[in-house]
């Protein structure tokens, strides 16, 4: 059997190729991919900026689909079930027994697994008609959740992991820097769970409007106003309790730290480049008792992400702006990269590939 997939031969060089449909092992599942979201990481892979990636590669790590075949030792799943996949592999996904787990997996921190691999990053991914995954990486999609929505499980789970580190409280004022798909997801989740006061900083006017729609109280244009001054005005000169950088830039990381009040927490969530560094005022860190957090993938949050989708706690259909057929992946990458007007999350529809572009 053959299938189509999008292969990145090298940076900026995308091709649709025919592959042999992969065969399953005893403990794995063959999944027919329905939808796969485009992530900032895919843009970085397109541009050759992800150190873990070797080319050629089929990217795509935010996907949902239907099980088409089940390995002989798999008991948890059956053919026809709808699943979303956690693309990050750790010891459990290689079938190791607990005593064989690595140092981090033994500590229940599988995202730091020394055997870590990720579908769509270090191995072929979801921009493909079929994919084989270990059954331990699959999550059953509740009947209330569509496959389109289920493709958002992974990015929502990543946001949840980030939010868990900073433990926002309802009385906090939160600054979110960047209102791209992730910034908007963060705003929606904060609004749903904490109802805190949210200030968003975002240069694009259409994205500022979206941020307000998703629950931000104020949206600032950092090119027109001095962010720190607006923050001071809005917080009686104190600064924000929590800031979330959702861009992956150095200037924005500095802003996230600079806008904190005493005891403030900054989550540096956007993915920066390996060579990026910032100057940190250590005396401020000490005297203001600041905390800085990083966040890597989503070790334990996929079930909660599916619950959020099931209970419609955030308006996911509003988070998706475009659904493209597989051959428009490159266009999607460029739209996202250029932050084109009204672009939010872009999904690639793989199953029943639509002939025409659809805007939702």
Binding site for Zn ion (CB under 5 A): 39, 41, 90-91, 102, 105, 113
Nearest to 220 by CA among 242, 205, 210: 205
Residue number with CB closer to Zn ion (41 or 261): 41
In whole angstroms, the minimum distance from the beta carbon of 11 to Zn ion comes to 18
| Locus of tokens 């691999």 | 117
**Smallest gap, in angstroms, from Cβ of residue 287 to Zn ion?**
36
Q: Which is nearer to Zn ion, 60 or 264 (CB)?
A: 60
Pick between residue 84 and residue 230 the one whose CB is nearest to Zn ion: 84
Pairing outcome for strands 13-20 and 320-325? unpaired
How long is the chain? Answer: 360
Distance between CA atoms of residues 344 and 347, nearest Å:
10
Q: Which is nearer to Zn ion, 113 or 147 (CB)?
A: 113
Q: Which of 138, 151, 118 is nearest to 348 (CA)?
A: 151
Nearest residue to 19 (alpha-carbon basis) of 105, 132, 109 = 132
CA distance 148 to 26: 28
Least spacing, CB of residue 250 vs Zn ion, in Å: 21
Contact partners, residue 215, CB within 8 Å, separation at least 6: 187, 188, 190, 191, 192, 198
Nearest distance in Å: CB 42, Zn ion? 7
**Whether 53 contacts 7, CB under 8 Å:** no
| Whole-angstrom distance, CA of residue 321 vs CA of residue 309 | 17
Cis, bond preceding 56 (omega within 30 deg of 0): yes
Signed CA dihedral, 271, 275, 281, 285: sign only:
positive
Looking at residue 39, what DSSP letter applies?
-
Question: Measured from the CB atom, is 158 or 227 closer to Zn ion?
Answer: 158
CA–CA separation, 112 and 299 (whole Å): 9
Residue 78 Cβ, how far from Zn ion at the closest point, in Å? 28
Cα(210)–Cα(34) distance, rounded to whole angstroms? 27
Contact 6, 128 (CB under 8 A): yes
* Shortest distance (Å) from residue 211 CB to Zn ion: 20
Task: Name which of 69 and 102 has its Cβ closer to Zn ion.
Answer: 102
Residue 14 Cβ, how far from Zn ion at the closest point, in Å?
Answer: 18
Residue 71 three-state SS: coil
Question: Which of 298, 315, 251 shows the shortest CA–CA distance to 278?
Answer: 251
Nearer to Zn ion, 122 or 291 (CB): 122
Please, are residues 112 and 300 in contact by the beta-carbon 8 Å criterion?
Answer: no
CB of residue 92 to Zn ion, shortest distance in Å: 8
Smallest separation (angstroms) from Zn ion to the CB of 104: 6
Nearer to Zn ion, 67 or 185 (CB): 185
Beta-bridge partners for 349 = 35, 325
Q: Which is nearer to Zn ion, 182 or 218 (by Cβ)?
A: 182
């Amino acid at each position: 059997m053959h299938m189509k997939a999008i292969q990145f031969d090298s940076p900026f060089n995308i091709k649709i190729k025919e592959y042999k449909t992969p065969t399953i092992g005893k403990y794995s599942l063959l999944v027919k991919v329905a939808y796969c979201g485009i992530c900032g990481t895919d843009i970085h892979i397109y541009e050759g900026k992800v150190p873990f990636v070797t080319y050629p590669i089929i990217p795509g790590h935010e996907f949902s689909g239907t099980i088409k075949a089940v390995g002989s030792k798999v008991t948890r799943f059956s053919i026809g079930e709808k699943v979303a996949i956690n693309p990050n592999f750790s010891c459990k996904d290689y079938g190791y027994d607990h005593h064989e787990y690595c140092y981090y997996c033994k500590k229940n921190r599988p995202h730091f697994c020394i055997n870590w691999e990720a579908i769509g990053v270090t191995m072929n991914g979801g921009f493909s008609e079929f994919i084989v995954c270990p059954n331990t990486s699959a999550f059953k999609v509740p009947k209330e959740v569509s496959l389109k929505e289920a493709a958002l499980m992974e990015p929502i789970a990543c946001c949840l992991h980030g939010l868990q580190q900073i433990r926002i409280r309802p009385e906090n004022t939160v600054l979110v820097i960047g209102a791209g798909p992730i910034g908007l997801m963060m705003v929606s989740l904060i609004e749903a769970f904490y109802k805190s006061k949210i200030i968003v900083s975002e240069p694009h006017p259409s994205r500022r409007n979206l941020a307000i729609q998703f629950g931000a109280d104020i949206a600032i244009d950092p090119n027109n106003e001095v962010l720190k001054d607006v923050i001071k005005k809005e917080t009686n000169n104190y600064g924000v309790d929590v800031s979330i950088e959702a861009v992956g830039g150095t200037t924005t990381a500095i802003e996230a730290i600079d806008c904190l009040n005493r005891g403030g927490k900054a989550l540096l969530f956007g993915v920066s480049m390996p060579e990026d560094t910032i100057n940190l005022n250590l005396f401020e860190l000490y005297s203001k008792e600041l905390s800085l957090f990083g966040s890597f993938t989503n070790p334990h949050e996929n079930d909660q992400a599916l619950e959020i989708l099931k209970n419609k706690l955030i308006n996911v259909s509003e988070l998706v702006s475009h659904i493209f057929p597989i051959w428009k992946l490159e266009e999607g990458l460029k739209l996202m990269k250029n932050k084109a007007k009204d672009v939010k999350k872009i999904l690639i529809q793989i199953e029943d590939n639509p002939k025409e572009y659809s805007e939702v």
